[in-house]
Amino acid sequence: MARTRRSKGDVAWYIPGHKTPIAYSTKAASDLIALLAQGGGTICEVCGRITYDVEARQVLSAYIRKGYGEVVAQSFFK
């Protein structure tokens, strides 16, 4: 009997050029990150704007831990 993979989230988050996702989230968290990124600023600044969505904050924290904290968020999350 074949095993099915259990979904870890609706959206997989990748670093450009890598095949393995660094985080997973729901579509709602993805939409929030994209909306806040349109306001401008770095990934660290966008992470600081998130006050109530723990999942979205964890996704951005994963990017910060990988060294992408000072990258302009709007170019990364469209």
Task: Encode pLDDT of 41-76 as tens digits.
Answer: 999 999 999 999 999 999 999 999 999 999 999 988
Res 2: pLDDT: 57
Q: What is the pLDDT of residue 42?
A: 95
Asked if 75 contacts 26 with a C-beta cutoff of 8 angstroms, the reply is no
Q: Is 72 helix (H, G, I), strand (E, B) or coil?
A: strand
| pLDDT confidence bin for 1, thresholds 50/70/90 | low
Residue type at 76 in one-letter notation? F
CA 16 from centre of chain? 12
Q: What pLDDT score does 58 carry? A: 96
DSSP of 8-51:
--SEEE--TT-SS-SEEE-HHHHHHHHHHHTT--BHHHHHHH--
pLDDT at res. 22:
94
